[in-house]
Amino acid sequence: MSADKSLKNKSAEELASALAEKRTALEKFRFAIAGSKTRNVREGRAIGKEIARIITELNSRGSD
């Protein structure tokens, strides 16, 4: 996956800011779903997986 390779090249600060950005995007997505403004439910799944990838990368760096 190209997303995994790009995450490994980022610094911890960049990953933290990307994580905050993705969490904000997920929050906005959830409000849009609740208000029936969006019908693309797969978008939420993709955002959640990206958040998980970032957290996994941050945790793997902490154990090294």
Task: Pick one of 1.10.287, 1.10.8, 1.10.10, 1.25.40 as the CATH number of 2-63.
Answer: 1.10.287
Whole-angstrom distance, CA of residue 51 vs CA of residue 43: 12
Query: Do the Cβ atoms of 15 and 57 come closer than 8 Å?
Result: yes
Q: How many CB atoms lie within 10 A of CB 1?
A: 7
**First-to-final CA distance of the chain:** 22
Question: What is the pLDDT confidence band of residue 1, given thresholds at 50, 70 and 90?
Answer: very low
> Is pLDDT of 4 > 80?
no
pLDDT tens readout for residues 16-35: 999 999 999 999 999 999 98
User: What whole-number percentage of the chain has pLDDT above 70?
Assistant: 91
Closest CA to 7 of 63, 64, 60: 60
Assessment of whether the complete model's pTM goes beyond 0.85: no
